[in-house]
Structures are given as C-alpha cells and as structure tokens.
Amino acid sequence: MSTVAFTPQDIDALDWDKQQGLVPAVVQDAATLRVLMLGYMDRAAVQATLDSGHVTFYSRSKQRLWTKGETSGNFLDLISMETDCDRDTLLVRAQPHGPTCHLGRDSCFPSAPGDELAFLGDLDDLIRQRESERPVGSYTTHLFDKGLRSIAQKVGEEGVETALAAVAQDDAALCGEAADLLFHLQVLLRARGLSLADAVAVLRERHGKPHRGAQAAD
C-alpha cells in the first residue's frame, strides 16, 4: 500500500475556522477498515504526518504536537488521507504497529467492525516470518523444513478432507477442515515465494471477464 498524496492546497482548503484551527481526524486500519481512534489535527500536525509518515495529532491536553506511538512504539504508518464533503474532517487510513488504544486494545472502539478476512493477511505475514526465522517447535517451521513436496501433499490431503466434510459432516467440521486447508495453502504459496495476495490478484483480474473456470467470481 502506498501513501495517497495530500497537497499544500488540500491543507489550505480545510475549514480551519470551524473548530478554532483544529479538524477531527478519524483513523482507520487500512487493511481491515476498522476504526481505530479519533484525534485532532492542526495545520502543523497534518504537515508532520505527511512529512514523517507517522500519524501525528495536536494534543489539546498537552498543548503540543503528539505522534501516536512516540512513547509506546505503536506507531500508525500513514497510508492515505482525505477530507469529507464539508472539508472539516479528515479520514486517515494507516497501518498500525501494535495496539492503538492505551488500554492495549486494537481499537479505542472495542466493538468497531472490520473486515475479518483481513486476518488472512496477518496470518500470511506470520507465515512469512516463520519461514525466515524458523523458530524451534513451530508447526509452520516443521512444514517448511519438510519441503515443498511434503507441503503440497498436505494441501492435497486437506482438500480431500474438506470435500468429505462438506458431504458427510456438520458445519463445524467443514469450517474446521476449510481453515486447515486455507492455512496449508498459504504455507504452500509462501514456499514458492508467493502469497495469498498473489492468488487474490488473479481473482481480481478475472472478475467480470469471461474466463474458463472463473464463473464463481462473476
């Protein structure tokens, strides 16, 4: 993901007079779209966010600029910034590094919804880390150590078990087997230097186009 440009002209066009030089900034996880927090920015905070790449606010209690994560290390890396139709509120999409809430939660709004499928991206990051570090005792390490052919065989086995669960077992069993299949498929892709995102990219390319075997994406 890359940062969407927010120009000096965009900064000037914000309605700074409505709230005495401040605008509320809603921060959203760029991957899951979950709302993480609400803060306030002045002109300097907006510029500091753009310059540093770390989401920065104006702290009304401290009366100074405050970069989220400056103490905890849980920075919010800027992905994009845009304004609403009235140009008096900012929507900031960011990549969080650790919990956003000071209570140790991912979001300051504990019930804020998000895209649960984005967990697969987090899992892929963990699988990539396991491949690189090979921690002792990790099942994923064990799979990588056995090699590509063994991982491919495991995916085949999980595929058969998922199909059998679909016709002969209950929903819980099917979901369990499907979860095993997804995990081992991600490991297989990583063993080939690929990721689930590469497979998703193919689905995106096929979507809406006539393609043999792609009817499910229509």
- Give the global pTM: 0.59
41 contact partners, CB below 8 Å, separation of at least 6: 22, 23, 25, 49, 56, 57, 58, 90
**Residue 104 DSSP symbol:** S
pLDDT exceeds 70 at position 214 = no
Average of pLDDT values for 103-111? 89
142-175, pLDDT tens digit by residue? Answer: 999 999 999 999 999 999 999 999 999 999 999 9
Rounded to 5 degrees, what are φ and ψ at 58? -100, 120
Domain ranges within the chain, ordered by starting residue = 8-96, 116-211
35-86, pLDDT tens digit by residue? Answer: 999 999 999 999 999 999 999 999 999 999 999 999 999 999 999 999 999 9
The superfamily CATH assigns to domain 116-211 is MazG-like (1.10.287.1080)
Q: Which residue has the higher pLDDT, 130 or 118?
A: 130
* CATH 1.20.1740.10 is right for the domain spanning 8-96: no
Q: Report the DSSP pairing between strands 90-96 and 64-67.
A: unpaired
- Is residue 192 a contact partner of residue 130, using CB atoms and an 8 Å limit? no
pLDDT exceeds 60 at position 216 = no
